[in-house]
Structure 1
């Protein structure tokens, strides 16, 4: 779906990526992890064509980004960290319609698409709501709906849950899982390690290099066994799992998000 092939990129004289390759397969749910400054946001700018690579190639759905930027860009929806910096209108249905108006869609098509998307994000009773009345989590769901108006094959979320509480974060993650089940490739940039539970595959960037790529359960296991060092704050249950492993050598990493099971493991380890 998305392939970065031996790319080079620099800001002024500072080399950010050198001979860098990465692949996102169709229909998968990815987490892209790494501390600030590791290159995550720059990578997304390159995929979107906002920044241009010096060497190598980027392919979106088989098309080379260099020669097909308009076609490639339509394949990707993007949601950023702060919804207030993305929203451009005052009413929910107007916000969803905004991108479609720019592409000249008919009013009939737009009405059908708005109905489809408000149902997708469970906004059936909020279609004419003032956006200023929405919560932060609701605004972010609206941004996701707006990103879906052109039926993108890929949805990228750049720290889109970082400003939300745990309840709204869960609603967003449930929505992403539903979209992924319909075949949309999800790329979630996050520093919340608990969110990887929803993903298929993990990329962890460190100093503009891929330090880990693989299945989420392998990723969690390496952390618990202290075989992979991260520059990220570990959630409490990861710390508990590491403590259990240090005492018993039992790897409980697959259950780090199951509070009941983790409690049982902890009790047995005492």
Structure 2
């Protein structure tokens, strides 16, 4: 698309693990400033794809570019462009004070105290956590810890933020807080990739990539994916939330696609009533 920058580009890659081919002639692009959800059941290739983008695993053929840099030739710079948040925050956090945790990476790069202070305060406000900057991390909830992890991953100004099942351990309230933060970051120009099993989380994203058996089964706008789910049988490893099941039931009875209203309970109630 003209005028849209491809921030991540995988070009005809091949990757094998223990002589088993995982990806063969696989290509995909991630655009600047878009919020992606990466879906697929266990074993579909999601985690492997993230490891390749991070340079943890190496392709045997093809190329991966991060902001026009080939990861083979510029691994260090490519990694600086990517922030990563994992499923369990306790495995990622290294200190026990919120402010110190966020500043940790900057200290390793030798930034000045004044710069670190300004940066930490900015990020604390970004995650709506400024009042808790001196709190002990061990006393925070899982959702609060994950907010600290997000802030920590942003201190070096990455252009890409990846969450590998980063909302999986959260309750619905904290999950929404995290998703609102991600939506805001994307609106400001960051490319966000959320690996998830929660289909309801696509409400917050722009684009959906759905992997099935290490191949792309769908890659496109959220609106089209919701319609795709309603009209098609999908991999049994993906459990449809209640409103998606209702929309599919309505479609099977009436051939009317109501997927656009899935996240509006009132409208879905009206569609269901009319379909009976």
Which range, TM-score by smaller chain? over 0.9
Cα deviation, residue 207, structure 1: 0.8
Contact 2:42 2:237 in 1 (8 A): no
In the alignment, the residues of structure 2 paired with residue 21 and residue 203 of structure 1 have an alpha-carbon distance, to the nearest angstrom, of 12
Residue in structure 2 matched with residue 177 of structure 1 by the alignment = 183
- Correspondence 1:116 to 2:118: no
Which sections of structure 2, spanning at least 5 residues, go unmatched?
A: 1-6
In the alignment, the residues of structure 2 paired with residue 162 and residue 77 of structure 1 have an alpha-carbon distance, to the nearest angstrom, of 18
Cα deviation, residue 227, structure 1: 5.6
| Secondary structure of the structure 1 residue equivalent to 2:79 | helix
Cα deviation, residue 17, structure 1: 0.9
Please, what is the CA RMSD of the aligned residues? 1.0
In the alignment, the residues of structure 1 paired with residue 252 and residue 215 of structure 2 have an alpha-carbon distance, to the nearest angstrom, of 29
> Within 5 A, what are the aligned runs for 1:44-63?
44-63=50-69
Cα deviation, residue 230, structure 1: 5.4
Among candidates 6, 9, 12, match of residue 12 of structure 2:
6
In the alignment, the residues of structure 2 paired with residue 124 and residue 231 of structure 1 have an alpha-carbon distance, to the nearest angstrom, of 40
Cα deviation, residue 258, structure 1: 1.0
In the alignment, the residues of structure 2 paired with residue 122 and residue 213 of structure 1 have an alpha-carbon distance, to the nearest angstrom, of 33
Contact 1:83 1:136 in 2 (8 A): yes
| Secondary structure of the structure 2 residue equivalent to 1:261 | helix
Residue in structure 2 matched with residue 105 of structure 1 by the alignment = 111
Which sections of structure 1, spanning at least 5 residues, go unmatched?
A: none
Contact 1:202 1:215 in 2 (8 A): yes
In the alignment, the residues of structure 2 paired with residue 168 and residue 18 of structure 1 have an alpha-carbon distance, to the nearest angstrom, of 38
- Correspondence 1:32 to 2:33: no
Residue in structure 1 matched with residue 226 of structure 2 by the alignment = 220
Deviations along 1:126-154, one digit per CA (max 9) or x if unpaired, are 00000011110000011000000011111
In the alignment, the residues of structure 2 paired with residue 244 and residue 18 of structure 1 have an alpha-carbon distance, to the nearest angstrom, of 38
Cα deviation, residue 231, structure 1: 2.9
Among candidates 21, 29, 48, match of residue 42 of structure 1:
48
Residue in structure 2 matched with residue 255 of structure 1 by the alignment = 261
Among candidates 198, 202, 208, match of residue 192 of structure 1:
198
User: Runs of 4+ in structure 1 displaced over 4 angstroms?
Assistant: 227-230
State the aligned residue count. Answer: 270
Residue in structure 2 matched with residue 20 of structure 1 by the alignment = 26
Residue in structure 1 matched with residue 4 of structure 2 by the alignment = none
TM score, norm. by length of structure 1: 0.98
